[in-house]
Amino acid sequence: MTTKQAFDKRIKRFLKEQPTSTASRIIRKIENQNPNHDSYYSLFDNFSFEIGLGIIAKEVVNRKTDKTIGYIPFLKYYSDNILNEKPRVVSLTSCSSPLSLNQCYDYLAKELLYRIIRIENLDTIITEKNTKL
């Protein structure tokens, strides 16, 4: 499974498990405003950038063997983010417990969605952005 597929799978699972939730309504609204997206990953990657957020999967490497141990999910707040957060990069899990790449993107999907649904006036922002993602 690719990282894009892991991200998409998490969003689809959420839509199936909680079809009437506020988050599901927001996902569908973003999707309807941008009907030509090829995946939830590309849709949310572009939308999150538009609102000043980014996701990062940082590789953790064993210094002795030079082999990948896993990945740590990070959320990046750009200087122009609409959450009014200071520009910074925030680790979402412990650096001592790296995840597989697919688990990392599953976690990033969930955390990004959680941050997006907390935005005040999100319905208005989605309509106003109405970007071709």
| Cβ-based neighbours of 94, under 8 Å, separated by 6 or more | none
pLDDT above 80 (res 21): yes
Q: What is the largest CA-CA distance in the chain?
A: 51
User: Which one-letter amino acid corresponds to residue 6?
Assistant: A
For the beta sheet containing 53-61, the strands, ordered from the edge strand earlier in sequence to the opposite edge, are 53-61, 68-77, 88-91
Q: Convert the pLDDT of each residue in 46-100 to its tens digit.
A: 889 989 999 999 999 999 999 999 999 999 999 999 888 999 999 999 888 999 9
Q: Name the residue ranges covered by the structural domains of the chain.
A: 3-129
pLDDT above 50 (res 133): no
pLDDT of residue 130: 57
Model confidence at 131, pLDDT cuts 50, 70, 90, reads very low
> E strands of the chain, at which residues?
53-61, 68-77, 88-91
In percent, the amount of the chain with pLDDT more than 90 equals 54
The 3-state DSSP class for residue 78 equals: coil
pLDDT of residue 16: 94
pLDDT of residue 132: 40
Q: Convert the pLDDT of each residue in 111-130 to its tens digit.
A: 998 888 888 777 777 777 65
pLDDT of residue 75: 96
Residue listed under structure tokens 């999707």: 31
